[in-house]
Structure formats: structure tokens, C-alpha cells
Amino acid sequence: MTDARPTPHFPTAADVLSGETADVYFERARTILAAEGLDPVVTMEIFSRGEGILCGADEAIAYLREIFAEAGGVAEGPPIVESLHDGDTFASKEVVMRIRARYSTFGLYETAILGIMASGSGWATAARQIVDAASPIPVIGFGARHVHPSVADQMDYASVIGGCIGASTPAGARMAGLAPTGTMPHALVLIFGDTVRAAEAFDRHIDPEVPRIVLVDTFKDEAEESLRVADALGDRLWGVRLDTPSERGRVTPDLVKEVRARLDLAGHPNVKIVVSGGMDVDRIGVFRDAGAPVDSFAVGSYISKASPIDFTGDLKEIDGRPVAKRGRIPGLSTTQRLERIELQR
């Protein structure tokens, strides 16, 4: 893996384990094979025609552990899973996971395993692209509002796997071994009717361990609001976030430079500037090329809207006999990177 984050806990879903989320032909295949008395030991290899940052392998392994625990062992020995890990890079057609077990124990779950890795790797790869574009400026993942809530935690986790330093939802951040990252919504500022009043209320009621980062684009000029908030909170203010909407010209490098200069002149050189609002690789390049003094970027839709990276599962052995569909080479692929996974915990 790319770092030493704690091993995440992936809760398994009942509808996945029951096969309700599987393509129906896998259930039909299981019914037919059982009726015919066929249940060979097979080896499946999983690969992609794309390349990127792998994410979802560790969650798929969590499912396989539970699936194999329920099924018990096979006469020829326990199931064997070899895999790359979340955060590893993968090349086109590189095998990222290999599973050896009786087909009846895991064949039904091919849809879920491929889907978990497809979505996770798409998000993680997009996150790595945006992180590389912003480097060395850190990026925070803010994409949860752009996806269905049932996958928001996996998307946030994938953004961290891709290199983001934080994620906005408690569930996603917890999965990545982090505390959630966030400031305040515009709704809070609008309800208070004043940015400083909202900031002071935040400061009164939110755990002191949470950094005080205040939105400064709701009512007044961003530079003016930054100074007002900095004067009100003093050293307790960690930073300000610029999220100017497109109707007002969005955040620009010149605006960031002005806010920085005015904060410095007013004696607030330690207040950091966070920039958000439709950030993508090209826009971040504009800020970087202009030398804008951004301390961190918050990025949402560029990560959340990333297309899944398709994965394929191929049977390559049946009862030890090399097999393959037409166009593929029978037998196990040559790979040196897979790690044997401990399935019993």
C-alpha cells in the first residue's frame, strides 16, 4: 500500500451477500451447476484494460473472507486469494486479484467484486490526478454531495487512497482512518445573517480540536470578510475558505493574492487560504501557474464524477486444467506482484 493508514473496516451488505445485487445469470449458472452435480475448483483472474490506482480490492477481500467462512473449506485445501492492495498502481491487463476455490462458493459474487473495484479505482485514479496537479498543495475530498449516499463512504475512502489528505463525511473518513474534514455550510452563515456571527458561534460550540475554517464569500467582499473574521477569532482562526460562485466570477488567482496580501498587512500571516468551487486539473493548473498562495484545495465533482475503470474476471483453470475463452491465453498469467491474503481473522 502507499502508506501506513490503519486497516479499514468494511461492513458487508446483506443484499450483496444474498446475491440480490449480482447479475441474475450468475444465480442461474449456480442453479444449473448444482442440478448437474458440477462444482469444480476454479481459478479466476481479475484484470482491467485500463490503468490507474487500485481501490476496492481490500473491500472485495472483506467480502471474500465472509463468503468463504460461510462456505467452509474444500477437499483440495482452503480457498486461496492473491491480490494487490488499495493504493497500488496497476497497468493495463495486469492481474490485480486471483481467486482459487470451488466455483459454487464465490461465482455468484463476480458482479460485486468487479463493481467494487471499478468504482473505487475510478474515484482513486481521479483523486491521484488532481493531487498530482496540485502538488505540493494538499487536496481535500468534498465529493459526497455528488453521489448516492449509499456509496458516499466508499467514494470518500477512494479519494484518500488516491492521495487526498482528508474527506468530508464521517463514514468515509473513518473508513480511511481519519477524522472528517469540513468547515461550515453557507446555510449556517445565511441563517446567522453575518459571517462573523456564524464564525463566533462555530467557535463557541464546536470541539476546539476542529480547525476553525470560515467561509468568507456569502455576504461581503472576500478580502473584507477574511479580515473581519481574523480580527474576531484571532489566533483561533485556522483559515478562510473561498468558494465564490460562478455568478460572481468564481475564485481567481488574483483574488487569492489579494486576500493573502490583506491578511498579511493586517497582522494575520498564519491564516491559511482554502480554495473550492468546481476545481479540476485545468483550473488548479491556472492557480499553480499564477503562483497563487493557496494552502489547500477542496475538490468534489472532479473525483465523484470519475468514470469507473472496467474490470474483468476470467476463469483460467478448472480443476487444475488451463482454460480461457477465445482470444485469451489459457492458464495462469505471469505476475510477480500479487500477495497471498490471509483469509482467516
**Domain positions in the chain:** 14-121+308-340, 122-304
Q: Decide: 156 and 48 in contact? Cβ < 8 Å.
A: no
Q: Decide: 273 and 256 in contact? Cβ < 8 Å.
A: yes
- In the prediction, which pLDDT does 7 show? 65
CA separation for the pair 91, 26 (Å, rounded): 28
- In the prediction, which pLDDT does 341 show? 94
Which range among 73-82, 184-193, 194-203 shows the weakest confidence by mean pLDDT? Answer: 73-82
Model pLDDT for residues 216-238, shown as the tens digit of each residue: 999 999 999 999 999 999 999 99
In Å, how far are 161, 170, 234, 276, 287 from 252, measured between CA atoms? 29, 30, 26, 11, 8
Mean of pLDDT values over 54-79:
85
- In the prediction, which pLDDT does 229 show? 98
In Å, how far are 115, 118, 204, 271, 276 from 314, measured between CA atoms? 15, 15, 57, 54, 42
Mean of pLDDT values over 90-118:
97
**Chosen CATH of 14-121+308-340 out of 2.40.340.10, 3.20.140.10, 3.40.50.670, 2.40.10.340:** 3.20.140.10
Q: What is the mean pLDDT of the chain?
A: 93
- In the prediction, which pLDDT does 53 show? 98
CA separation for the pair 146, 17 (Å, rounded): 27
Mean of pLDDT values over 36-63:
96
Q: Decide: 169 and 158 in contact? Cβ < 8 Å.
A: no
Model pLDDT for residues 13-35, shown as the tens digit of each residue: 999 999 999 999 999 999 999 99
Whether a cis peptide bond, with omega within 30° of 0, leads into 170 is no
- In the prediction, which pLDDT does 75 show? 46
- In the prediction, which pLDDT does 57 show? 97
The domain made up of 122-304 is a member of CATH 3.20.20.80: no
Q: Please state the pTM of the whole predicted model.
A: 0.92
CA separation for the pair 143, 259 (Å, rounded): 26
Model pLDDT for residues 112-159, shown as the tens digit of each residue: 999 999 999 999 999 999 999 999 999 999 999 999 999 999 999 999
